[in-house]
Amino acid sequence: MHVRSVLIPITATSRRDLIERFAQLLVGLFLYGVALGFMVRGGIGVAPWDVLALGLVEQSGVGYGAMTVIVSLLVLLLWIPLRQRMGLGTVLNALLVGPSAALALAILPEPSSVWVGGAMFIFGLVLLAFATGLYIAADFGPGPRDGLMTGLMRLTGWAVWLVRTLIEGSVLLLGFLLGGPVGIGTVLFAFGIGPLIGLFLPRITRRRQARSQQLGELRPA
């Protein structure tokens, strides 16, 4: 079945497949925000995009959750000259991750020591990689930052590592200049997120594809 949309068309093997994948998308985005909350609360540094968001928070006084949404929407504006098409998952990513991160920060206590903070950060990092696998495997379109990367790759013809490095490096530098927190957690994220996503994403994708195929075969004629 095909769901008509002004966004990227959504394809599903059955109505149940669509519902299950949509639920997976929402769970993935919620957990992604929770993971960000754990990493921020850990207090040992954050990912480059969160260095930027927290730097802007420092300068503006806007809350972290709201600033995360604002940054995502600004990134989506950069899609326009790149002629990137959004998916439903792209829009929900921009709107839902920030509030779930703010909720996590409201609940999580301050770490009692740097060791507790480090453990919180590492848990958040692993959870973020798992959540990334969930929402990507749901196949409702890329997140705002991923779409920026692929759009620039298509425009410039540069390799993925070069485009990703330039984006992350520029964001990190700007965030640092604005007063965002840079620490050992920033380094752990830089070297750890790729392998962790590589661990979770293929497995989650295979399970999701197998489930979608099964639901398609069970669909009444």
Residue 153 maps to a domain: yes
pLDDT confidence of residue 217: 74
Q: What is the pLDDT of residues 147-205, one digit of tens each?
A: 898 889 889 988 877 888 899 899 999 999 999 999 999 999 988 888 898 899 889 99
| Residue 4 is assigned to a structural domain of this protein | no
Residue 108 lies in a domain: yes
Tell which wins on pLDDT, 26 or 146.
26
In a domain, 7, yes or no: no
Instruction: State the pTM of this model.
Output: 0.89
Reduce the secondary structure of 78-144 to three states and give it as a string.
HHHHHCCCCCHHHHHHHHHHHHHHHHHHHHCCCCCCHHHHHHHHHHHHHHHHHHHHHHHHCCCCCCH
Q: Is the model's pLDDT at 5 over the cut of 50?
A: no
> Is there a domain that residue 1 lies in?
no
pLDDT of residue 4: 45
Q: Count Cβ atoms below 10 Å from residue 65 Cβ, excluding itself.
A: 23
Domain assignment of residue 117, yes or no: yes
Count of domains observed in the chain: 1
Its domain, for residue 169, covers 12-218
Please indicate, yes or no, if residue 94 is contained in any of the structural domains: yes
User: What are 11's strand-pairing partners?
Assistant: 2
Distance, CA of 20 to CA of 50 (rounded, Å): 30
In angstroms, what is the C-alpha Rg of the chain? 18
Residue 45 has pLDDT above 90, yes or no: yes
pLDDT for the residue 3: 44
Q: Distance (Å, rounded) from C-alpha 201 to C-alpha 138?
A: 11
